[in-house]
Structure formats: C-alpha cells, structure tokens
Structure 1
C-alpha cells in the first residue's frame, strides 16, 4: 500500500448487498421498554431487504412496538475487516407474504420452533472495508501459537 492510499474503503451500495448475500449471520439492534437490545440472528436477503425467523419473545415484541432497527454483519481476516450496517424498519410478514421465506436459504441455526418471519426494509445501507496492518500477528516467534 502506498503512503497515499487509505486503509479505509467505503463500499458501494452494490458491494454492500453482495456482502450481505454472501453472509448469513449478524446482529440486530432494536428498542424494547426504553432500552436498546442487541442480539445475534441468522438471515437471508430477499431482493433488497433482510429476512429472519424468530419465535415469540423480545425480538418480535420489540420490532412490533418500535420498527426502527439496525443490523450489522462483519468479517475479519488477518488482512482485512469488512462491516456492513443496515438501518431500517422491521415488520412481521403475514399472510401470503410470509411464504417468501420458504424460497430463501433461511433455516434456523438453533433447533427451536420459529414461526414468525420478519423483514427489515432498509432506509440506509453502508459498508466499510479496512486493510489491517496488525503487526503483532507477523511478529510472532516461529512455532508460537
């Protein structure tokens, strides 16, 4: 990398969606009872929105009471870190709209019943990729773990 090249790269909207499609795990931030909650979810992309399954509980109650949410997924390797953030509005899918989930590569990671499908309609999608130097990874003595 030259002295003038920035280690921070802003991803285009298309690159953000490509990254979202290539991954399936992230974190959902939502409001509930005056607090912000942050929980892991697995998801799938349906056109230009995210869809996840959930059981009745805090997530479903939270998005039903306040649809404003944020979602983040990332990937860190030895050489780079990538993060995509989606801010938007979440709502439970109902009726025939709920069956779109059956066409998506979306299955619960934990073997518990999840009967509610929720879609996040994006208001803003942003992403960054960071070229990491992390010199301590390269300064390890030979044979060290």
Structure 2
C-alpha cells in the first residue's frame, strides 16, 4: 500500500489558480423544475466567473433562478492525476459598462456564434480535489500492436 493520499483537498487559492488557468467548463443551472448542464467558455474577473451566451436556455435559466454551479476538471494520464474544481454562486446578467468591460477579459468564444449577453457568477462557495489515479484495471486495456513491416522489392 502506498503512502500517497488518494484524494487531497485543494486550497481556495489553488482552486482560483486552476480556474484562471483554464477557459472551458460546465455550467449547471435550473430551468423550471429541471437541472441542466452546459459547456461554456469563461474568464475569471477577480472573484467572479464571466461568460457570454446567446438567447436560449442558459440565459433564461439564470434569469429565472440565479443559483448556479460551475465545474472544471482535468486528467493527466502520464502523471496518473486528476483534479476537479466546483464553484457555486449567484449569476446575473451584466449590462452597460459592466458588460463592455468583459471585452477586456480573456473571454474567447470557441464557437463562431453571436453571444451578446454577458453573465457573471459571484462565487460564494469554492472547493477542489486532486485524485491520484490507481486504475488497477489498466493491465486489462488492449495493447496496440505495431504495424507489420512490409518488404519493399528491390
């Protein structure tokens, strides 16, 4: 048995570092009596997360219920590590100068669609974990066979 802890908790600063270091995550929001989850690209502005969205279910969801959750994660296959950060907070639509200030953030849409609405999430809870992956089943994964060499005629 290893001395490595399988799960370690990330500090609040470590969580913010990871949030600042990525730009793609998942937003969970309420819409009527259902919970939805959608991928978004985002930027960090101080202690808030900012994203753009078009008219649709995400925008309607945050207008109807500001309570949201946001998650990012990563798996490092070589190091056999994974981590996850979850933020909870209140979403609100930015208007006027606040919305224009979003143009100065590292907020780059991945999909070429028009997204005029800027939403900010004031983070009230932040938690993160890092996992050392044991994956005892790895020996059962198929091994890729190398391509056979073919002889070239003289």
Pair in the same fold by TM > 0.5? yes
Match of 1:118 in 2: 119
Match of 2:102 in 1: 101
- 1:125-140 alignment, distance < 5 Å: 125-137=126-138
**Deviation at 1:136?**
3.5
**Deviation at 1:73?**
0.4
State the distance in 2 between where 1:90 and 1:18 align: 21
What is the RMSD of the two structures over their aligned residues, measured on CA atoms? 1.7
State the distance in 1 between where 2:30 and 2:145 align: 44
State the distance in 2 between where 1:140 and 1:133 align: 14
Q: Secondary structure at the match of 2:89?
A: strand
Q: Which runs of 5+ in 2 are unaligned?
A: 147-154
Q: Secondary structure at the match of 1:111?
A: coil
Match of 2:22 in 1: 23
**Deviation at 1:5?**
3.5
Larger Rg: 2
Q: Which runs of 5+ in 1 are unaligned?
A: none
State the distance in 2 between where 1:94 and 1:73 align: 26
Q: Secondary structure at the match of 2:107?
A: coil
